[in-house]
Amino acid sequence: MQAVRLQAVGRIGLVEVPDPGPGPGEVLVRVQAAGICGTDRHLFRGEFPCAPPVTLGHEFAGEVVACGEGVTLPLGTRVTCDPNIACGSCDQCLRGRVNLCARNSAIGIHRDGGFAERTVIPAHRAIPVPGLNPQHAAFAEPLACTLHGLDLGAPIPGERVIVLGGGVIGLLAVQLARNAGAEVTLVTRHPAKRDLALSLGASHTAATEAEAHALLPQGADLVLECAGVAETVEMAPRLTRSGGRVVVLGVMPQGETVRIEPFDLLFREIRLLYSFINPFTQARAAAMLSEGRIDTTPLISRVIPLTEAPEAIANPALPGEVKVLVVPG
């Protein structure tokens, strides 16, 4: 079968690999849709730790076509994949902090993932999503990560929230914060993304930090950094009101640093939090998608075949692009 393999940092391609088969406790999934994530581009550039050679793809959905010993999931079940496999026995797992597991093995990062015709995953990481369009089900993983960030930020009705970044995480955060009853402002330079945010429930948008300050002179109760670039990480506390909180969801390259003024955080008692992956949120995300509480249709910018995936991963996203989905076959 065909799979998109990261052979080494800077080397990615579509190759022929042996057909996989499920072992005990595993299922074989025919991949129907897989999303390209900014993390995939970090992996290609060596900016995020992984274990090449490996088939990339950690945001995907598909159909169960075979089961290993001990698995009772019916064939034909449509599933989304929770890609993070915690060990369950390290100190962090025993504290319930499974996203910080010392031995976490991530599908599509440390073991073969969803940019392939078929892939094998542990049955306990397969979440049934019957009746859900696979192109929508592929959003479960980024939505789950965004849910964790909103759990940490805990917006409440009537609060003012600023979302920095108009990518898929930012536009999902707009919807989640709006669903929580907050007044939401999206900050991004891309006019099409600002228009999209307004259609998804944002009350206001801004192109720059100065425009955001003009809209909210006192600052926001909660700022969600979703762009993963130094400019917005540094900007986030400046847009936060005294006593407010910042949650950083964006992924910056490993080793890159930013400038933060600790005195400002101290004097205004700003809580600066970081949100990492999706602890216990994937099933909630799948349910929200199945119930239509999150709109993903306008977030799909392109649908491409496997043959085009290596080039899409190796290059920056196109201007205004939100999510590119890979559909094998």
Q: Where residue 232 falls among pLDDT bands split at 50, 70, 90?
A: very high
Percent of the residues in the chain that have a pLDDT greater than 90, as a whole number: 99
C-alpha distances in angstroms, 170 versus 143, 157, 177, 188, 194? 10, 19, 10, 9, 11
Average pLDDT, the chain: 97
Count CA atoms within 13 Å of residue 32 on its CB side: 21
pLDDT in tens, 15-59: 999 999 999 999 999 999 999 999 999 999 999 999 999 999 999
Active site residues: 39, 42
Sign of CA dihedral 215, 218, 221, 222: positive
- 231 touches 209 (CB < 8 A): no
Least confident piece of the model among 15-19, 46-50, 96-100, 269-273:
46-50
Please give the domain boundaries of the chain with CATH numbers for all domains.
Answer: 2-139+296-326 (3.90.180.10), 143-274 (3.40.50.720)
Contact assessment for residue 183 and residue 315, using Cβ atoms and an 8 Å cutoff: no
Exposure of 22 in the CB half-sphere (CA atoms within 13 A): 25
Strand 60-67 with 78-81, pairing: antiparallel
Confidence of residue 151 (pLDDT cuts 50, 70, 90): very high
What pLDDT band is residue 311 in, cutting at 50, 70 and 90?
very high
Give the confidence band of 75 by pLDDT, cuts at 50, 70, 90: very high
pLDDT at 329 over 90: no
